[in-house]
Amino acid sequence: MQAGFLIVAAAFLTSILSGIFGMAGGLVFMGVLAWILPVAPALALHGVIQFASNVWRALLHRAHVAWPVLLWFGIGAAAAIGFFSLLIFTPTKFYVFLGLGLMPALVWLPERWLALDATNRWHAMGGGFVSTGLALVSGVSGPVTDLLFIHSKLNRHQVVATKAVMQAIGHASKILIYGAVLFGVSAREVVPLPVTAVAVLASMAGIMVGGAILDRISEAHFRASRRWILTIIGATFLYQAIQIAAA
């Protein structure tokens, strides 16, 4: 019961964060799930809830989605799913927290090193492959998809909407690879299906709250806040990875 309440509360609060900034919420939520659950069920449950959350966010902002970008991103994502489905890889808590800790550091890379633009088809395709692959290993890939928008001319609503669909694609890949474990007896004992359903609804509610806040913040504040929020979250998870390695 306690675990179920924590999952639902985390789904709601982290979705508010995602609704405002289009990122960070999934990162924090994955960390919470990896702390509570074994890794494979955590990845699968994160995929289910975040898929619903991102689809809902995309629907709320559907007028702002840059669909041509998503065509090439989807091709790269499909290639990643095909590639990783051929590998035998067992994710561990150390790899999950290491990935969660290191990925936010990408936002501090000098822009001239990675002059990426989501509207460039090759950048979008490569981003789809890399971000989906990372989602399958560590559970999240938001900071990687963020890099695609550094030099794009898309405004904050277009960034949030388009990235929501990109993230939904990554979470769908986790459902395909790890989804079966959610229906195992041990997983259902920890996370009953009603808890999953309530968490999905909570994430949708959080997205609506975050979207309302997004309308009230400035473009400058939106861009400046994202980097520092990611850095603080990443440092926390990197410390957790070090603790696991030292144990």
Tens of pLDDT along 142-177?
778 878 887 788 888 888 889 889 989 988 988 888
pLDDT at 45 over 80: yes
Average pLDDT over residues 62-90: 88
Query: What is the tens place of the pLDDT at every residue in 97-138?
Result: 998 888 877 767 776 777 788 889 999 999 999 999 888 888
pLDDT at 28 over 80: yes
Note the pLDDT of residue 181.
64
pLDDT at 13 over 80: yes
Spatial neighbors of 10 by CB under 8 A, at least 6 apart, are 28, 29, 32, 33
Least confident of 19-33, 74-88, 164-178: 19-33
pTM comes to 0.79
Query: What is the tens place of the pLDDT at every residue in 54-65?
Result: 898 889 888 999
Look at the block and give the residue holding tokens 């609804």: 201
Note the pLDDT of residue 159.
85
Note the pLDDT of residue 224.
67
pLDDT at 232 over 90: no
> Distance between CA 154 and CA 230 in Å, rounded?
21
Query: What is the tens place of the pLDDT at every residue in 169-220?
Result: 988 988 888 877 666 645 556 677 788 889 889 988 888 888 788 777 777 7
Distance, CA of 131 to chain centre: 10
Residue at 239: amino acid letter:
Y
Note the pLDDT of residue 22.
65
The torsion region of residue 24 among left (phi > 0), alpha (psi -120 to 50) and beta comes to left
For the chain, the structural domain boundaries read: 2-246
Note the pLDDT of residue 73.
95
Note the pLDDT of residue 77.
94
Q: Which SS3 state, helix, strand or coil, does residue 70 take?
A: helix
pLDDT at 32 over 80: yes
